[in-house]
Chain A
Amino acid sequence: MVVILYILHFYLAEPDTPMPRPLGISSLRILAAIRDDVGYGLDIVAHTGMPSGTVYPTLARLKRAGLVTSRWEDQRLAEREGRPRRRYYDLTAEGRRALTEGAARAYEAVTALGPGPVEGRG
């Protein structure tokens, strides 16, 4: 089933035009996490509570859209602690703007829906 979903996903995605549609809630939550200095993929997973299978592909998409950048931590530090390097994610200026816009849009949507709990869906 996963395979079929992914095939469908690829057929639907339009990778040549970066981020053609407005950012979804998953993307916004990830951007917000990075803004709050949650920089590692693992920590984003823990912070947002979303599955790693959503977080990583979304990070890759955000990166290609130029909303986030990534950099490796210092090789020497990792070597000293005898472990592999880790990769951080940072927001770009454009990412910051997209987050602000997206958050405003989400807020509008919530207020338009009126009071009551709104469940975030990816």
Chain B
Amino acid sequence: MSRRGGAARAALRILAAVVPADRRAEWLEEWEGELDALESLREEGRARDYPGVAAFVAGALPHALWIRTEGWTMESVAQDLRFAGRLLRRSPVFTLVAALTLALGIGANGAMLSLVNGLLLRPPAGVAEPERLVQIARSYDESPRWDNWSWPASRVIADETAVFAGVAGYAATSLVLGRGTEAEAVPGLFVSGSYFRVLGVRPWMGRLLDASDEVAPGAHAVAVLGHGLWTRRFGADPGVIGTTIAIGSRPYEVVGVAPAGFTGVEALGTPPDLFVPAFQYTLPVLPGSPFESWELSWFQLFGRLQDGVSFPTAEAAMDPLTARLRSARADLEGVRVVLARGVGLTPEERTEAGRISALLVGIAVLLLLLTCANVGNLFLARATDRGQEVGIRQALGAGRTRMARQLVTESVVLALFATLLAVPLLASAGVLLPGLLPQRVAVSLTPDWPVFAAMAAAGVLAGLLFGALPAWAASRQDVARTLREGGATRGRGRTRLRDALVVSQLALSLGLVSGAALLGRSILHARAADPGFDADGLVVGFVNLRASGRYETDEAEAAFRERLLAEVAGIPGVLSAALAGQAPVVGGHARSSVVPAERAEDPEASVEAEYVPVTAGYFETLGLGIARGRGFRPAAEEPERVVVVNEALAGLFWPGEDAVGKELGGGQRIIGVVPDVQMRSLRAPANPAVYYLMDQEERLMNPVLHVRVGGNATAAVAAVRRAMVAVDPELPVTNVLPLREGLARSLAETRTFARVVTTFAGLALLLSLIGLYGLVSHGVAQRTREMGIRIALGAASADVTRVVLGRAMALAAVGVVLGIGVSLLTGRALEGALFGVEPTNPLALGGAAALLACASLIAAWVPARRAGRVDAMVSLRD
């Protein structure tokens, strides 16, 4: 038998529990008979018109539910509803507390679900038939990748009209809009003429770009405004169409406005505000035209499948297309065209977003379980108090299942009420979530109907979950005994159940609290982390040199550098300053292949190293000591082409030898070796790196200013910003910050988890303490008589307190022990977000356990003390 068949049979057995016992065997036999027949048909290949096994078996649930509810009459259901409503109204405080508790859990789940929905499930807004879109990427036979295309290659792919109804491409960029003090950097897209047609987007106003806008490289400067930019900067003025705006150094004619809500096809990043033809794309640094070169891969492609072409068919058609591409260019050997369904996230991003979402949803579900346990406990406590009522109703002939149904109805009604309460919480998710995420998200995360529906379902499930407990307890109740004992039933089973609930609550919240502690320690650790240089007292500023279009020659650029460094050196408190192509961790990253000169012909020998062009004072400014050799002198004093490498590269190319004096394949002499610096990320080990002298290199896109100050880096930011503007008032100064802040910001994922987990841990702790408090005080209230007798017989009030407290602390101890197990699991789950802390860090786990124990003690002590103060006479008289 197939494994699938096994799973289907197991599912049927589980579903059979829903069917009333007297009809269960018959029900199961019918379904198993049909399933067996279906499987035989499939094996014989005769199941063409038949549903799949999973789809078929899915129908068993409605069938089972139908049979289960067959005997329910409208009157009895209505009666249950009325009764539930009356009961809930009768104790409004109970109802409100229970509903609010549950609303927290449901709202948190809804918020996390909005995230999954917005990021992973919902197609990009404003796009027609998004399910027919595919991403088209460049990969390699040898190593699977997900890369962009060169312009000529994109033309070959666009000719594949049998599979694609249209192929479009884009390149994201930051464009500087306006001039002088009016200038601002806005996210923009270079798009192919087919972009809007393939997406099926209609203009808000004017027209969108089309094939007629693809004229020639550099010609025809037209632009489409994003709806957001149009409203924000142009006051939604319809007269903007036909006017000219300055983008970078050129005037562009505005031809239209994109529709509201359209955010391009990428789910992550900043949504584009400006769309210009791809032919406006320029690459100032590299030689060759981006429209002729097959090496420059800057164009990201997607396509729309032809009607009737399925995704597998399209994938199969990529082989001949790959062959055509390879025959077009010899150096495309090994390149492969690959597809992914839909647009929004690349397959890698999807996996990553899936991992983060799964964690967040997991945490939210944990919180929901906790709230269910809490409310279940409240219900159990009340069921205990209501023992007599239930007993009387049973004695009057209400069947056990009827009683259980009544209780379940009550909890479902409560859960639906809680779901309503959670709606405002959820509605704020669209506003709150983006601030919480590690990365900017282009798409809207505002929940839509599927999320609300799923939340309502979660609410009902939660209701069934916590309603099942008292229902089960009630169905086991002994009528005669209950009535005899005056309703104060305290069945052992039920007490145990309540204990178990509180223990599991404590355990779950310890899991969250210790997760919060681990993340908190990670952030502290990151603040103090040693990135390989002296990060304190360092300010970095990104210089947007390319935007102005006024530094197009090497001389102009060199002069600008000199003036900028001189201006910054004049700021009081500045110790040194330098420019570099990239700043550690925070940005400007670039790599290039390097190879030792003696093995220059061997393609295997080259490695990708960090490409860091710097000015002479760089190493002093960074506080990076020279391990061997020397640092750079000013360019005028370096007649030879020289580089400095880091220890990682030296060890890779010349293990055991001194790299100083060796030569790289490009003819650069190594004059020094410096310690490794984490250039990309605080988490990853340092890459091999090569430092070049800026004046000996090609011109840079945008250099990063590094300034070392004697005092507080934050205080110096404003002065550095002023100095940059003083050198060129038209230069857009967007990003100046203390490097420490940049380092901390780079741990955004850790921060996200820290915020979410800490919030949820706080809630969880509060809920479980309320649970413990409730359990103890309810126990005390029920045992007042017993306490009175003990005190009357001479027990000291402290003894009574100790007995009650001892029992509560025993529960807390069990909760803590189990909770440490849960903590190890949450630690494992959060491992990817931890930094410098092991998931089993004893300090974090121990601290969390101690916190929980102390808090439990306080929560139990308040009602326990009340037990000790019981007035013997009063309690006995009552």
Contact = CB atoms under 8 A, between A and B. Distances in A.
Is A bound to B?
A: yes
B389 interface: no
A4 B70 CA distance: 17
B59 A55 contact: yes
A52 B55 contact: yes
Interface stretch (B341-349, B440-448, B456-464, B661-669): B456-464
Nearest to B457: A1
Interface in B19-73: 29-30, 32-34, 36-38, 40, 49-51, 55-63, 65-67, 69-73
B559 interface: no
A15 B36 contact: no
B72 A84 contact: no
Interface in A4-54: 4, 6-7, 10-11, 13-16, 40-42, 45-47, 49, 51-54
Interface string A48-65: 010111111100110010
A42 B34 contact: yes
Given A15-B71, A86-B37, A46 B50 contact: yes
A10 B77 contact: yes
Contacts of B30: 41, 86-87
Chain B interface category by residue count:
35 or more
B779 to A, nearest CB: 35
A118 interface: no
A1 B74 contact: no
B56 A83 contact: no
A109 interface: no
A11 B77 contact: yes
Contacts of B453: 1
Contacts of B456: 1, 4
B454 interface: yes
A92 B61 CA distance: 27
Contacts of B70: 15, 60, 64
A45 B29 CA distance: 18
Contact of B66 (A11, A40, A60): A60
Contacts of B65: 6
Interface in B76-109: 77-78
B29 A60 contact: no
A40 B59 contact: no
A11 B412 CA distance: 14
Contacts of B38: 42
Contacts of A41: 30, 34
Contacts of B72: 10, 15
B843 to A, nearest CB: 45
B63 A11 contact: no
Contacts of B50: 42, 45-46
B453 to A, nearest CB: 5
B33 A6 contact: no
A83 B33 contact: yes
Interface in B180-234: none
A4 B55 CA distance: 20
Contact of A42 (B37, B67, B412): B37
A112 interface: no
Nearest to A56: B63
A14 B69 CA distance: 11
B32 A84 contact: yes
Contacts of B49: 46-47, 49
Interface residues of A, number: 35
Contacts of B34: 40-42, 86
A86 B454 contact: no
Given A40-B37, A83-B36, A84-B29, A53 B61 contact: yes
Given A42-B34, A42-B50, A56 B73 contact: no
Contacts of A87: 29-30, 33
Contacts of A51: 51, 55, 58-59
Nearest to A16: B73
A45 B62 CA distance: 14
Contact of B33 (A45, A52, A86): A86
* Best-surrounded residue of B34, B36, B61, B457 (most CB of chain A within 10 A): B34
Given A4-B460, A42-B34, A52-B60, A14 B55 contact: no
Contacts of B57: 52
A49 B48 CA distance: 12
A58 to B, nearest CB: 9
Contacts of A54: 59, 62
A11 B74 contact: yes
Interface in B319-343: none
Given A11-B77, A41-B30, A84-B33, A52 B51 contact: yes
A60 B62 CA distance: 11
A2 interface: yes
B84 to A, nearest CB: 13
B460 A6 contact: no
B62 A85 contact: no
Contacts of A13: 74
A60 B38 CA distance: 20
Contact of A53 (B37, B58, B78): B58
B79 to A, nearest CB: 12
B34 to A, nearest CB: 4
Given A6-B62, A6-B65, A60-B66, A46 B29 contact: no
A15 B73 contact: yes
A15 B67 CA distance: 11
B77 A3 contact: no
A10 B68 CA distance: 10
Nearest to A41: B34
A51 B61 CA distance: 12
A54 B58 CA distance: 10
A11 B32 CA distance: 30
A17 to B, nearest CB: 10
A51 B77 CA distance: 28
A9 to B, nearest CB: 8
B77 A84 contact: no
Nearest to B50: A46
Contacts of A78: 33
A101 B29 CA distance: 33
A18 B374 CA distance: 43
Contact of A1 (B56, B71, B454): B454
Nearest to B40: A83
Interface string B687-724: 00000000000000000000000000000000000000
A11 B40 CA distance: 39
A3 B412 CA distance: 11
A45 B74 contact: no
A64 B165 CA distance: 53
Nearest to B72: A10
B457 A52 contact: no
B464 to A, nearest CB: 8
B149 to A, nearest CB: 42
B64 to A, nearest CB: 9
A14 B33 contact: no
A53 B49 CA distance: 17
B67 A14 contact: no
A43 to B, nearest CB: 8
Given A42-B56, A46-B51, A56-B59, A3 B460 contact: yes
A53 B36 contact: no
Given A2-B62, A84-B36, 5 more contacts: A7-B412, A7-B460, A45-B50, A54-B59, A60-B66
19 contacts: A1-B456, A2-B62, A2-B457, A3-B457, A4-B457, A10-B72, A13-B74, A15-B73, A52-B63, A53-B61, A53-B62, A54-B62, A57-B62, A57-B63, A57-B66, A60-B70, A64-B70, A86-B30, A86-B34
Interface of A: 1-4, 6-7, 10-11, 13-16, 40-42, 45-47, 49, 51-57, 60-61, 64, 78, 83-87
Q: A-B pairs with the 7 shortest C-beta distances?
A: A52-B59, A53-B59, A56-B63, A57-B66, A86-B33, A53-B62, A42-B34
Interface of B: 29-30, 32-34, 36-38, 40, 49-51, 55-63, 65-67, 69-74, 77-78, 412, 453-454, 456-457, 460-461, 464
